[in-house]
Chains A and B, each alone.
Chain A
Amino acid sequence: MFKFSWLTKKQSFPGGLKLAGHKQVTQIIEPALPKELIYPLFLAADRYAKPCVNVGDTVLKGQIIATADSLLATPIHATSSGTIVAIEKRPIAHPSGLSDSCIILQTDELDEALPTEPCIAYTEQNRDFLRHKIQQSGIVGLGGAAFPTAKKLQPSQAIHTLIINAAECEPYISCDEILMIESAPEIIQGALIIQYILQAEHCIIAIEDSKPEAYSALLSATESNQLQIKQVPSIYPTGGEKQLIQVISGVQIPVKNLPSEYGYICQNVATAYAVYQAINLGLPLTERIITLTGDGIKQNQNLRARIGTPVKDLVAACQGYTPQAEQLIMGGPMMGIALASDDIAVIKASNCLLINQVNKPISQACIRCGDCADVCPSELLPQQLYWYSHTQQWDNCSDYQLADCIECGCCDVICPSKIPLVQAFRVAKAEIQQQQKQSASAALAKKRFDNHQQRLQRIEQEKLVKQDKRKAAIEKMKAAAAKRKLS
């Protein structure tokens, strides 16, 4: 057999970019207890939590203050003790800068917590019970997508491989890395709990090869051989769920399908830690590690932040802003969202706050260099897509698989003409979605109208038939009467 180097090349996903890390893995510090904690009721998409406290109530840390009625939602816990002072509209962490209903908790500085109900021997528990506990602990994917973990742990197909995503491929963010260094045994415990719930044969912790310290921490914390720790190349976006699966297994999962349909499930490493805390310690998800970084902040720091802490309190814990603080990004520089104000509170999905200078160069015309297609992890043609989306040819956009775009930002960053490609794609996607909704409702209306017409016709016909019958009956009676007369 001949062996070609390009055939035996390390498994990877198409495209991607090598980005400068800018990661400063600093120790986790505890910020001071904020005076006010803010909990948006908005969870994701069109799902909301329902408040179950009233203004004036006193609550304890870990107490549920808003409930969720489905598996697609998670309850919200108070993250310190205090009084509910308002349920009102506040700006929330959302790309459109929306204001939405939030529960406002004024802390009492006592930080009293509810008693916990740990469950040490999880293998003796019913798996549904564990799922329920995870759901009631408010655990969502902490990698940024905030999808309810309990829902993800209830796949319709059998799962053979659980992948714990420790890639953390976006620049600047180091919250997962420091968590792995400081709490590797707990993470491994959490991973094993998830593996037990899923009854998965394999459990693989995937970590970028640029994090040797975290890698060795995980290695030394692993006792059993139930679990593998694999290093993956540091190419953005290797931490994308489907990209990571492809790197680990070589399986390319189509956009329309879920990884679970192929027997894979990915969970973020911080989620595994939260699962450990929820099951083994009985602690609901009330805090997370968040990286505060960038030129705009005096001291780059990893913080253990209570969910609901306003950004400004975290910034104060990092000695405040520098004059370079021109924009505030929640999440990483590639896929994060820009926040309009630092009054906004951190949510479960907030892994990083990046404060730096605005860096949006003026865009020029496309020179068709094709760099964007080279780096696209979904193997799309961003150049073509851009052309179609900014000339509003939505059909062509769909034909060129715009829906497959994961908005990772690679094309945008590499573009020599500095064209805001991702923004154009988002607009096009929204536009197409809007159109689909409209055409769906138009189709529905037409169907209703047709049905109505048919109904009217049927009634009309029935009327005619009845009339005919009546006429015929009258004729009959007349004929009978005439007969009688004759006889």
Chain B
Amino acid sequence: MLFPTQSSPFSASNNSVQAIMQQVLFALIPAILTLFYFVGYSVLMQISLAIITALIAESLCLYLRKKPILSTLADFSAVLTAVLIAIAIPSIAPWWVVVNGTLFAILIAKQVYGGLGYNPFNPAMAGYVFLLISFPLPMTLWQDASIFLSFSDAINVLFEAVAIDGLSSATVLDYTKMQLRSGESISTIQASSIFGFIGDNNKEFVSLAYLIGGLFLYLKRTIRWHIPFAVLMGVFIPASIAYAIDPNIYSSPWFHLVTGATVCAAFFIATDPVSAAASIKGRLIYGFLIGFLIFCIRTWGGYPDAVAFAVLLANISAPSIDSYLRPKTKTQ
């Protein structure tokens, strides 16, 4: 009897790209449900729009590149990118915002570079920055978390541009920045009703949901602790120093951790291995860089939140970090 000959090893593990992506998507469910609880159907609509756009864009590229379509779509990487964009942008942004952002992420940031594994930038963050620069107005209209949008209301807002009174409100990061510029002190600013326990009223719980999902990923060994830890420390340490120097001008480190997209970035965005540094030391530095940039841009920069810029800047430094911090083998 004759047999085919291949090279060892002959066994394979259950570890797969598909399983990793699915796990990350699964870990996003608590955050999505929390968002849904506070803002309503608009967030689900954004997610659906993004997923449909991503799948169509990815299929088109794969068709043009003569790559297998269905098996590649099944790796869920496009879906994950879409979901991350959809939950990153304001939930009441008109439909074309999320569509444009997803198209940019998939077509330019991912497929032009050669698809999954070859993209130097995190596609979701590239898409987000594209939107932030191109359409600044809808990107700053954040839905007030005390208004729950019903299905029909969400359709009206997203597709018909129907205005609903009091639907949009400033985020605490926005508010803090504006008030600081007009000379208020942090303690007065944070007495405002839009603040919850530490950060954004209600939206604090979204950060908590991201944390739960992130810890799940850590326990499932889908992500390692290095990057999330370093990102959080990158925000926390400089924020603590600044807060210790002058608590009237600088927000507390806890405030920085729970507001905006800090937790989401730490566990779901910075941990994208394709665009991150590879070695352990490299990952710690990469993560810290993201956190530090988030703090700097928030505090002294022109944007209220800074996750996307911070991640892109760290992405572009990842290859250098890797090449300078190459781990030595002990047998050398």
Whether A and B are associated in the same complex: the answer reads: yes
| A413 engages B13 (CB within 8 Å) | yes
| A341 engages B1 (CB within 8 Å) | yes
Q: State whether the Cβ of A360 lies closer than 8 Å to any Cβ in chain B.
A: yes
Encode contact with B along A322-364: 1 for CB under 8 Å, 0 otherwise: 0001111101011111111110000000000010101111101
| B7 engages A359 (CB within 8 Å) | no
CA A340 to CA B5, docked complex, whole Å: 6
Which bucket holds chain B's interface residue count?
Answer: 35 or more
| B8 engages A337 (CB within 8 Å) | yes
Q: Which residues of chain B are near A360, meaning CB under 8 Å? A: 6, 12
Encode contact with A along B3-15: 1 for CB under 8 Å, 0 otherwise: 1111111111101
CA A19 to CA B8, docked complex, whole Å: 15
Encode contact with A along B200-241: 1 for CB under 8 Å, 0 otherwise: 000000000000000000000000100000000000000000
Q: Which residues of chain A are near B13, meaning CB under 8 Å? A: 413-414
| B9 engages A412 (CB within 8 Å) | yes
| B10 engages A333 (CB within 8 Å) | yes
| A381 engages B326 (CB within 8 Å) | yes
Given A340-B2, A381-B278, A416-B19, residue A327 in contact with residue B10 (CB < 8 A): yes
Question: Which A-chain residue is minimally distant from B272 (CB atoms)?
Answer: A367
Q: Which residues of chain A are near B114, meaning CB under 8 Å? A: 365
Given A340-B2, A413-B13, A414-B13, residue A334 in contact with residue B276 (CB < 8 A): no
Q: Which residues of chain B are near A401, meaning CB under 8 Å? A: 329, 331-332
Q: Pick the contact of A379: B75, B115, B331 (CB < 8 A).
A: B331
Given A364-B75, A370-B278, A416-B20, residue A329 in contact with residue B273 (CB < 8 A): no
| A342 engages B1 (CB within 8 Å) | yes
| A97 engages B9 (CB within 8 Å) | no
Q: State whether the Cβ of B330 lies closer than 8 Å to any Cβ in chain A.
A: yes
Question: How many cross-chain pairs have Cβ atoms below 8 Å apart between A and B?
Answer: 148
CA A335 to CA B11, docked complex, whole Å: 10
| B3 engages A326 (CB within 8 Å) | yes
> Chain B's nearest CB lies how many Å from the CB of A326?
7
CA A248 to CA B11, docked complex, whole Å: 28
Q: Which residues of chain A are near B279, meaning CB under 8 Å? A: 370, 373, 381
Given A329-B10, A379-B329, A418-B12, residue A97 in contact with residue B5 (CB < 8 A): yes
Q: Which residues of chain A are near B278, meaning CB under 8 Å? A: 368, 370, 373, 381, 383-384
Q: Which residues of chain B are near A336, meaning CB under 8 Å? A: 8, 10
Residue from the set A254, A412, A426 with the largest chain B CB neighbour count within 10 Å? A412
Majority secondary structure, B binding face: loop
Q: Which residues of chain B are near A340, meaning CB under 8 Å? A: 2-5
Given A312-B1, A401-B329, residue A359 in contact with residue B12 (CB < 8 A): yes
| A414 engages B8 (CB within 8 Å) | no
> Chain A's nearest CB lies how many Å from the CB of B113?
11
| B9 engages A409 (CB within 8 Å) | yes
CA A359 to CA B276, docked complex, whole Å: 31
Given A255-B331, A379-B327, residue A335 in contact with residue B8 (CB < 8 A): yes
| A416 engages B15 (CB within 8 Å) | yes
> Chain A's nearest CB lies how many Å from the CB of B62?
13
Given A342-B1, A367-B117, residue A422 in contact with residue B9 (CB < 8 A): yes
Q: Pick the contact of B274: A256, A333, A356, A368 (CB < 8 A).
A: A368
Q: Which residues of chain B are near A415, meaning CB under 8 Å? A: 15
CA A407 to CA B331, docked complex, whole Å: 16
| B4 engages A365 (CB within 8 Å) | no
Given A326-B3, A364-B17, residue A334 in contact with residue B117 (CB < 8 A): no
Q: Which B84-141 residues sit within 8 Å CB-CB of chain A? A: 114-118
Q: List 10 A-B contacts (CB under 8 A).
A: A256-B331, A312-B1, A327-B5, A360-B6, A362-B71, A365-B117, A379-B327, A379-B331, A413-B9, A413-B13
The 3 closest A-B pairs by CB, nearest first: A365-B117, A409-B9, A338-B5
> What 4 new A-B contacts, CB under 8 Å, besides A370-B224, A416-B16?
A254-B331, A364-B75, A381-B279, A417-B16
Q: Chain A interface (Cβ within 8 Å of chain B)?
A: 14, 19, 95, 97, 171, 252, 254-256, 312, 321, 325-329, 331, 333-342, 354, 356, 358-362, 364-371, 373, 378-381, 383-384, 401, 404, 407, 409, 412-418, 420, 422-423, 426
